[in-house]
Structure 1
Amino acid sequence: MKETKKIPAWVGDLMLFITALVWGGGFIGVKESLNTLSPFYMIAARFAIASILLVLIFWKKLGGFTKEEIKYGSIIGLFLFLGFGFQTVGAIHLEMSKLAFLTALNVIMVPFLVRVVFKEPIKKYNLIASFIAVLGFIFLNFNAATGLTIGYGEVLGILCAIAFAAQITSTGHFAKKVDPIRLTVIQMVVCCLLGFMIAIPFEPIPQAVSKQMLIPVLYLGVFSTCIAFLFQTVGQKYTSAPRAAIILCMESVFGTLFAVLFFKEVITVYTVIGAILIMAGVILSEYMHARGESR
C-alpha cells in the first residue's frame, strides 16, 4: 500500500495565518468598495463571484440538491447574509478597527445561542470569557470626554456578531446531516440572491464598472470569501484545533492594523485596552472549546 505523504503542521498553520490575514484585509475591502458601490449590491457581487468559483471548483460534488440540503443551506445563508448586511452597513457608521473587534464577539455569543436553541449547558470558561469581552466592549466604546458611548454603528456591529454567531451555530448543527461543501455552495448562492433582492428595489443600479469598484469587490469575492474558505478547510486538517482557533482569532488584529495603515484611524489607550480584553475573551473561549473537541 502506498503511504500518503504527511504534511507538516507548519503548513496548516501557515494556511490559517493567511486566512486570518485575508479576512482582516476584508474589512478594508468592504470600506473601499462602499466608496463606489452601495452596500447590498456589493454583497450580491461578492457572493456571486464566490458562488461561481466554488461551483467551478466543486462541480463534481454538486447537482441534484435535496430539499433538506436546500432548506439547511437557506437557513445558514440567511444568517450569513444578515451578518454581512449588518457589518457592511455598519462600516458606513463605524471605524473599521472597532467593527473588527465587535465582529469577533460572535465567538463569545455562540455558546449562549447553543444553550437557548439546543439546551446544551454553558461551560464556566464561556462565562468568564464573556465577562472579559463585556469589559473589553466597555473600554472599546469609552471616550474620555463623553464617557461610554454606544451609537448606531455599535448597534449594527453587535447585530452583526449575533447573526454570525447564529450562522456558526446553525452550520455546526446542519453540517452533521449533509455534505458541508454542498451546504456552503447553497449558502453562498442564497447570500447572492438575497443581496440582489434587497439592492434592486432599494438601491441605485451601478451605471458603470470602474477599476476603483472592481478591485475591492474581486478581493472580497475571490480572496476573502472563496480562497479563505478553502485555506481554512484544508489548513485545519494539518494542525491542531486549539492552534487553529488562536490563529484565526488574529483576523480582528489584522483588520485593526490595516485600518490604521490604510485609513489612518486613531487608536486610543481605551481602544487598545478594549481590544486586548475582547481578544483575550475570544481566545479563551476558542482555545478551551477546541481543546475539549480535540480530547
Structure 2
Amino acid sequence: MNRRSRRKVLGFCMLFLTAAIWGLAFIAQRDGADYLGPFSFMAARNWISLAAMSPLSFLLYRKNLRQRDGAGRGREGLLALFAGGAACGFFLCMGGAAQQYALPMSTAAKAGFISALYVVWVPLLGLFLFRKKEGMRTWIGTGLSIVGLYLLCMKEGLRLGMGDLMLLLCAFLYAMQIICVEHFIRKAEGIYLALLQILASAFLSTILMFLLERPTASDFWAALPSLLYVGIFSGAAGYTMQIMAQAYVDSTIASLILSLESVFSAVFGFLLLGQSLSGREILGCAFMLAAILFSQLPGIGTKEELSSAG
C-alpha cells in the first residue's frame, strides 16, 4: 500500500471515529444544557478545546511539514489561514449554539437526524453559491428529507416547534462550516486551521455569553463532565480529525461518513438515556437517512454523474 492509499485509509478511520464521537456528544450536550445557556456552554467547551489542542497541534504540525508539500506557508497561505479560521469559527459557534439551544426541546435521536441534514444543505448551497450542478440526486435527497422531517417533527398539523427550527438552522450553519473547510483546506495548513476556528469560536461565544447570559461558577462546575467530553473529544479531537481527513478524503465521501453521527446519536440515546421513538418517528428517521445517502452517493441521476463516478 503506497503513501497516498495509507493516508486515505487513515482519513476514513478518522471520519468514522469523528462521527461516533459527535454522536455521543449529543448526550453530553443535552446534559450540559440543564446548567448553562448555549453561548456559555460553547464558550467553555471552546476554551477547553484550545487548551487540549495547543500542544498537540504543535507536534502534529511539525510532523505534517515532513509529509506534505508545504501548503499553508507564505503570505497567501497565512491570509487563507486567518480568513478560514474566522469564517469556519463563526459558523461553528453559531451552529453549535443553535444546536445547544434546541437540545432540551428534543431527543438525542431527533436532534442527531435533523442536524445531519447538513449533508443535504452542502450540495444545495454549492448549487446556488458556486453553480455546481449536482443532478437529480440533490433533488431526490431534498424531497426525502422534507418527508422525513414531516414524519419526525410535525405531530399537530403543519407546524414546526422552536427546537426543530433551531436544529434546521444548525444544519444550515454546519453546512456552511463544511463548505468553508473544503475551500480553505486547499490553501491553509489543516492543523492550524482547526486551531484558529476553535479560537474564533471561543472569542465570539465568550462575547455573546457576557452580552446575553449570566452564568455562575457553580453552573460551570455542574456542567464540567459534559464540558470536558465535548471540549476534549468532540471539539479538540473531532474537529481536528475532520479537517485533517478532508485533506485526503473526497468531500462527498467525507460528508457521508460524518452523517453517521445521526445513527450514533440514536443508538447512544437509546442505550444511555432510554429514549425511544414511535413508529412514525422511526419512519421519519429512515427517510432522512435515505436523504443523506441520496444526496451524497455518486452516480445517481444524470449521465454526467455516471461518467464522473466511473
TM range (shorter): 0.7 to 0.9
State whether residues 109 and 162 of structure 1, in contact with CA within 8 Å, keep that contact through their aligned partners in structure 2: yes
2:264 corresponds to which of 242, 254, 265: 254
Q: Distance in 1 between the 2:248 and 2:89 partners?
A: 28
| 2:215 counterpart of 1:205 | yes
Superposition map of 1:5-154 within 5 A: 15-59=14-58, 61=61, 66-143=78-155, 146-154=156-164
State whether residues 16 and 244 of structure 1, in contact with CA within 8 Å, keep that contact through their aligned partners in structure 2: yes
Q: Distance in 2 between the 1:186 and 1:273 partners?
A: 40
Letter in 1 for 2:40: Y
Taking structure 2 as the reference length, the TM-score comes to 0.81
Letter in 1 for 2:30: K
Q: Distance in 2 between the 1:257 and 1:120 partners?
A: 35
Letter in 2 for 1:73: G
Question: Which moved further from structure 2: 116-125 or 273-282?
Answer: 116-125
1:274 corresponds to which of 284, 303, 307: 284
Q: Distance in 1 between the 2:254 and 2:128 partners?
A: 27
2:193 aligned residue: 183
Where in structure 2 are there 5+ consecutive unaligned residues? Answer: 63-72, 300-304
Letter in 2 for 1:142: M
| 2:182 counterpart of 1:172 | yes
2:67 aligned residue: none
State whether residues 85 and 197 of structure 2, in contact with CA within 8 Å, keep that contact through their aligned partners in structure 1: yes
- 1:21-54 CA-partner distances (Å, limit 9, x unpaired): 2110110111111122222111011111212222
Question: Which moved further from structure 2: 148-157 or 22-31?
Answer: 148-157
Q: What's the offset of the Cα at 1:220?
A: 0.1
Q: Distance in 1 between the 2:251 and 2:95 partners?
A: 24
State whether residues 245 and 283 of structure 1, in contact with CA within 8 Å, keep that contact through their aligned partners in structure 2: no
Superposition map of 1:210-289 within 5 A: 212-232=222-242, 245-288=255-298
State whether residues 11 and 249 of structure 2, in contact with CA within 8 Å, keep that contact through their aligned partners in structure 1: yes
1:193 aligned residue: 203
- 1:145-170 CA-partner distances (Å, limit 9, x unpaired): x3443111111011111111111112
2:65 aligned residue: none
Where in structure 1 are there 5+ consecutive unaligned residues? Answer: none
Q: Distance in 1 between the 2:253 and 2:126 partners?
A: 23
Q: What's the offset of the Cα at 1:238?
A: 8.7
Question: Which moved further from structure 2: 153-162 or 172-181?
Answer: 172-181
Q: Cα 1:40–1:251, aligned 2, differ >3 Å: closer, same or farther?
A: same
Letter in 2 for 1:34: A
Letter in 1 for 2:90: L
Aligned length: 291
Q: What's the offset of the Cα at 1:84?
A: 0.5
Q: Secondary structure at the match of 2:297?
A: helix
Q: Distance in 2 between the 1:5 and 1:78 partners?
A: 32
2:166 aligned residue: 156
Letter in 2 for 1:110: V
State whether residues 120 and 141 of structure 2, in contact with CA within 8 Å, keep that contact through their aligned partners in structure 1: yes
Q: Cα 1:9–1:178, aligned 2, differ >3 Å: closer, same or farther?
A: closer
State whether residues 7 and 238 of structure 1, in contact with CA within 8 Å, keep that contact through their aligned partners in structure 2: no
Q: Cα 1:232–1:294, aligned 2, differ >3 Å: closer, same or farther?
A: farther
Q: Identity over the aligned pairs, expressed in percent?
A: 26
Q: Secondary structure at the match of 2:27?
A: helix
Q: Distance in 1 between the 2:222 and 2:108 partners?
A: 19
CA RMSD of aligned residues (A): 3.2
Q: Distance in 1 between the 2:165 and 2:223 partners?
A: 27
